[in-house]
Amino acid sequence: MKSNRWGRAMRQALTFVLALAILLGLFISCERFFSPSFKECIAKHQAYNASDTAKENPSGFLGSISAYVECTGDFVDKNNGSITALATIIIAAFTATLWRATTAQGKLAREAFIADKRAFVFASGTAPFYEPDATTGHFNWRIGVAWQNSGDTPTKQLRFYVDGFLTNIPITPTHDFNYIDSRAPPGPGMLGPKAPGVAGQAPHMPHQAALTPQDILDIQNGRKFFYLWGWARYFDTLPNTKEHITRFCWLIRVVGDPLLFNPAIDPHSLRFFNSYEGRGNCADEECISQGLA
């Protein structure tokens, strides 16, 4: 977008220069072919140069230039009203072109400033947490999301939504990423400049069951798939900027033995990783192109 606007401004400037060249050519053509007084003046100079001696006159080339300048001056003097009107039109056209180029440059500078300083929120990784299961003595799991604001300004009116599902088949190309669980609606938040944070989790607590050790074993063996997805909607604090959205969709992978996990011995023996899916990962205009804005 920025390059297109800059290219448009350059084309306008080149168009103006070309217009000046065309106008200059028209001016020269008018005085040479359509002005009797200019023709008469040139003829007089040519006759004078022909009758005088070479010693008393400048070289032919310099004489022609001198005659042309003098005759052009006479032409301008006799047609000053028309030329003034034409010059006024040219100045107006130049002013308009300069204004448009300056406006385009100002927009480019503002967009560059906003892109450099505005808040940008994205999901940066998983934040899993465990729940002890008193019945089995093992630990069940829910997966939270780590978020990051990589911008130089804080967010405004930030809202998070995170969801997920355990399935026996891979996610479909038509999965509804606009679905919202009414029992776990989007929640508010705020991220300062360069600030991380954790928000959202799935399966939703308390009405959805956590992932059991058996679920994790099935995920590791390819019998089941757990998908984590969601979005962040927010404004930045810069004036007159639109709402932003960032979406993510991950397939969750697990390394470690869930049956042997014991946080008192090694809280990092079970590790969760995310791999990006082909759909549902986007920001702003990308989400619009995916129909997920």
**Whether the bond into 170 is cis, omega within 30 of 0:** no
Cβ count near 27 (within 10 Å):
15
Alpha carbons 39 and 48: distance in angstroms, whole number: 14
Name the percent of the chain lying above pLDDT 70.
64
The dihedral built from the CA positions of residue 273, 275, 279 and 283, taken in this order, carries a sign that is: positive
What is the rounded distance in angstroms from the CA atom of residue 2 to the CA atom of residue 104?
9
Q: For the ranges 63-77, 121-135, 194-208, 239-253, which has the lowest average pLDDT?
A: 63-77
Q: Which residue has the tokens 């029992």?
A: 183
Whole-model pTM? 0.65
Using one digit for the tens of pLDDT, what is the confidence trace for 95-154? 765 556 555 555 544 555 555 689 999 999 999 999 999 999 999 999 999 999 999 999
Pull the structure tokens for residue 198: 């954790």
Q: pLDDT (tens digit, 9 = 90+) per residue, 168-221?
A: 999 999 999 999 999 999 999 999 999 999 999 999 999 999 999 999 999 999
Q: What are phi and psi of 204, to 5 degrees?
A: -70, 135
Which among 183, 226, 201 is positioned nearest to 147, based on CA atoms? 201
Task: Judge if the upstream peptide bond of residue 132 is cis by omega within 30 degrees of 0.
Answer: no
pLDDT of 1 above 60? no
Amino acid at 140: N
List phi, psi (to 5°) of 153. -130, 155
Beta carbons of 255 and 273 less than 8 angstroms apart: yes
136: three-class secondary structure by DSSP? coil
In this predicted structure, which of 66-75, 134-143, 191-200, 283-292 has the lowest mean pLDDT? 66-75
